[in-house]
Chain A
Amino acid sequence: MNRRTVLALAVGAALLASGCTGTGGTSKGADAEAPDDPANVSGTITVLTHRTDLVQDGTMKKYAAEFNKTYPKVKVEFDGITDYEGEVKIRMNTEDYGDVLMIPAVIEKKDYPKFFASLGSQEERSKKYRFTDYTAVGGKVYGQSPLGAVPGFIYNKRVWREAGVTDWPTTPAEFLAGLKAIKSKTDAVPYYTNFKDGWPLSQWTGVRGSVSCDEQATTRWAEGNPWAEGGELRVADSLLYDIVHEGLSEKDPTTTNWEASKPKLAKGEIATMWLGSWAVIQMQGAAKQAGADPDDIGFMPFPAQKDGTFCAVTSPDYNQAVNIHSDHKEAARAWIDWFTDKSGYAEDNLALSPLKDAPLPDVLKPYEEAGVKLLDLDDSKGAELKTLENQSEVGINKPDYRKELVDMARGARKGDPDDYLDGLGEKWTETQKSLGS
């Protein structure tokens, strides 16, 4: 054996050894019980969070100090992660992913019991909390979102008023007419797509349920074709297409900038953006910084009505869960319970509380006055919807297909929008068939 063969063999052996890595042992079915006596829980827990801003400015520390008043022996540490999805996904291949974490969107629902300790039965938790559907597997709940949001249009009230529109549009056509009035009567950009950053485009999928006013919307999407004539995505995507096609959006969408768009909306240089109630606080912050009036920031539902009322859908933020490998599950559970029930995190963010009996936040007060119906979607088919989205590579929660649609609308890409949306529906239903077989 000459030297070269020895080397090749050594490398080969190393490759084989590494090739065998992959699935380790998995524990399954642990529970994170709530502690009986707060004074007796102890341990150091690490909380993984995507809110790096709150970790940096010390807000999370304040929450922890408040938490320690009830649970003096628990030490809470925070690990703020900028690229939360990407990084936590990789860490979850090991056992070291904190004690409390936000469930990354990439984790399939059926895998929840392998990664997280259960917080209790759905039957019991759903009496008190919203969003239990979203993390329930086999009747057990694995996570809890500390706040909720409602998708909708953020708009500058002053600009819309100057354009002569004071009532919320009730149909896509009225909405378009409103944008046209803004274009002709003011200097503002009627609608801003945030094309470059992309994720604001994927927010449009948040129309689920608002057009049909149906709590079973998720199931309908998973089992039907949301791009069929009159389907929710057909309505929403067509509206987006029309907005861009009629020149009602920014001039060069390819170089947009999300951070810069906030003060622009606050100052009235941009009139409208489709985002969600979660963005209101950021826009108001931008308004204060830019010296504009925070009260100009308004929030309106998707322009569609059912029997004369608007519908809006509550949707959870990241769901907090307990790592199944955690050594301090009681302490971790105590943190989640306290953070959900008592921290005031939802109020601080002007967001919808996860507690069913809590009052609506100020942001949504106009909704209450206008009689907008708030829906809690049934998410029992949420896992199927996600599988379908990934397998078909349509990516309803990804910006790509809407980017193509916007390109088409502004003439940078050839094609007919109707054919394009039909094509998406076809891909969708074909994948449904192949998954069903």
Chain B
Amino acid sequence: MTSTTETAAVKAAAGPGAAAPAPRRARLWRGATPWLFLLAPLAFLIVFTYAPIANMVAYSFTDWDGVSPELRYTGAENYAELLTRPDLFEVFWVSGYYLAASVVQIVAALYFATILSFNVRFRNFFKGVLFFPYLINGVAIGFVFLYFFQDGGTLDSVLSLFGVETDRAWLGTPESANTSLAAVSVWRYLGLNFVLFLGAIQSIPGELYEAAELDGANRWHQFRHIIAPGIKPVLSLTVILSISGSLSVFEIPYIMTGGATGTETFVIQTVKLAFQFNKTGLASAAAIVLLLIVLAVTWVQRRLVPDSADDKRMDLA
């Protein structure tokens, strides 16, 4: 033992003369290490997220058709066209269906999360059942529900088991189609909300419930005064996600109806502008306008319902 420490000490003593800048280099390395670790993710982030967005912003000022080698700079013409064509914004009414659906979705998710946070029989099974739809690919869900809503399909046969003979085309009228599609989206995203809520609820210390029970609080009181305040940051996150999600619905209606029968959303419309009518410039502008709208709505929502100081660590903005 002693001999090794001795040699190390000798080396250390001999060292400084030969390697004077070592501490400086070490400091440099220490400073660079996090960046080296960050190199790969940052490169991915820039190449696959920020660069395409920058390209899109650039395209939004041109009349590019998506393939031609020629493109002309047209200034803010695309934005002017967008804002002077009210018909392009009418599709936002469709988002109302999804907004209404997300209220249902949040309430239902909260309900299930609260119930399953208590000791319930088969609780893990129910958790699985609720979360499972979120794991399925959106395209697959679209196809599954196409059969579900088909004339004489799953929904009709299930209803007829209960003696209800509906002879309606579920995707046949704008109201019915949008409601059906919004219901599919509730089915799909309920699981995600549910898991978020459940996680937040379970992070509340158990003693609080015990103390509350001793004080004679029932389940509703526990929810109202312990759970609800405890999950507020997650709740506001969910609301923001739901609003921006409702404004930019795409997969399910695009696959199931292709935007026909009054189910066209803003994103479907943008895709059609870009890939059907080859107005990539205009479509890029539309995408950016949607981004701005979502940011604005989020900002307004944060203003109206600010987080309390304790929750700042959960702050999203």
Contact = CB atoms under 8 A, between A and B. Distances in A.
Interface of A: 11, 14-16, 18-19, 21-24, 26, 86, 89, 92-93, 104, 106-108, 111, 114, 195-196, 198, 251-255, 389-391, 393, 395, 398-400, 403-404, 407, 410, 412-413
Nearest to A395: B276
B67 A92 contact: yes
B151 A255 contact: yes
A279 to B, nearest CB: 21
A410 to B, nearest CB: 8
A83 to B, nearest CB: 11
A400 B259 contact: yes
Given A11-B50, A14-B51, A393 B169 contact: no
Nearest to A15: B54
Contact of B71 (A23, A253, A395, A399): A23
A19 B275 contact: no
A433 B64 CA distance: 21
Contacts of B171: 252, 254-255
B247 interface: no
A11 B42 CA distance: 9
A331 to B, nearest CB: 25
Contacts of A412: 172-174, 261-262
B46 A14 contact: yes
Contacts of A251: 151, 169
Interface of B: 46, 50-55, 57-58, 64-71, 146-147, 149-151, 153, 169-174, 177, 257-262, 272-273, 275-279
B69 A111 contact: yes
Contact of A413 (B151, B261, B272): B261
7 contacts: A111-B69, A254-B169, A254-B171, A390-B65, A391-B277, A393-B273, A412-B261
Contact of A400 (B46, B147, B150, B272): B272
A403 B68 CA distance: 29
A213 to B, nearest CB: 30
Contacts of A15: 50-51, 53-54
Given A23-B69, A23-B70, A255 B150 contact: yes
Interface SS majority for chain B: loop
Nearest to A17: B51
A48 to B, nearest CB: 15
Nearest to B53: A15
Contacts of A389: 277
A24 B261 contact: no
By CB atoms of chain B within 10 A, which of A15, A89, A255, A413 has the most?
A255
Contacts of B258: 196, 198, 399, 403
By CB atoms of chain A within 10 A, which of B57, B58, B68, B71 has the most?
B68
In the A-B complex, list the 3 residue pairs whose CB atoms are closest, starting with the nearest: A18-B51, A252-B151, A15-B54
A21 B174 contact: no
A404 B262 CA distance: 9
Given A18-B52, A23-B71, A108-B65, 5 more contacts: A16-B54, A18-B50, A108-B68, A410-B172, A413-B174
A19 B52 CA distance: 9
A14 B52 CA distance: 11
B54 A390 contact: no
Nearest to B149: A255
B137 to A, nearest CB: 17
A306 B302 CA distance: 68
Nearest to A250: B151
A197 to B, nearest CB: 9
A391 B70 CA distance: 17
B284 to A, nearest CB: 12
Contacts of B54: 14-16, 18-19
A114 B258 CA distance: 33
A15 B171 CA distance: 43
Contacts of A195: 260
A426 to B, nearest CB: 14
A198 B272 CA distance: 14
Contact of A403 (B51, B153, B170, B261): B261
A133 B170 CA distance: 46
Contacts of B153: 255
Contacts of A11: 46, 50
Given A23-B69, A106-B278, A413 B262 contact: yes
Contact of A398 (B64, B276, B279): B276
B58 A22 contact: yes
A195 to B, nearest CB: 7
B57 A19 contact: yes
A11 B259 CA distance: 37
Nearest to A22: B71
A195 B150 CA distance: 13
A22 B54 CA distance: 12
A24 B276 contact: no
A118 to B, nearest CB: 17
Contacts of A390: 65, 276-279
Given A14-B46, A93-B67, A252 B262 contact: no
